[in-house]
Amino acid sequence: MSRINPGSAKNAIAVAKVVAPAVIPVVTPYLIKATGVLRERWDRHRARRMGIDVGELAQYSGHGGVLHARISGVATALAELPERDGQDAVEAAELTEETETRLRQLAAAVRAAERMPAGRRRAAHKAVSTELDGIEARLLRRLGV
């Protein structure tokens, strides 16, 4: 096993100077394509984890992106609630109005937490997540799930 010494390092650099100009143009397109494929897979993974489409990923960026996606999903489900529930639409409308107000407050809290120090931001996000858990549970009970 040979050791690296100044002479062998000098020889390796000389070989690299000769080989690199021929190899780089050949390898670069493959590297660019591989990078694009990896980025696409990563974006699909993130979108799937958030429960959204890949096209919506840019809307839910930042530290609170996951929470904003959850808030948006609950708001969408709430918008459909009165349409599904014909027997006691008044109660459903009250629930919708009350919950939409709370969702707006939670979204504002998540936006405010974006610029907080990491510890405070995590605490705020945890509080919002806990509140969202309760709202989602109430909504699912209302839908009979």
Same domain, yes or no: 101 and 128: yes
C-beta separation of 100 from 76 below 8 A:
no
Q: Which of 21, 37, 57 is the last residue of a domain?
A: 57
Note down the domain range covering 22. Answer: 1-57
Same domain, yes or no: 86 and 111: yes
CA torsion, points 96, 102, 104, 107, in degrees to nearest 10? -130
Query: What does each of the 145 residues of the chain score in pLDDT, given as a tens digit?
Result: 568 888 889 999 999 999 888 888 899 999 999 999 999 999 999 999 988 899 988 888 889 999 999 999 999 888 877 665 555 677 777 888 889 999 999 999 999 999 999 999 999 999 999 999 999 998 888 877 7
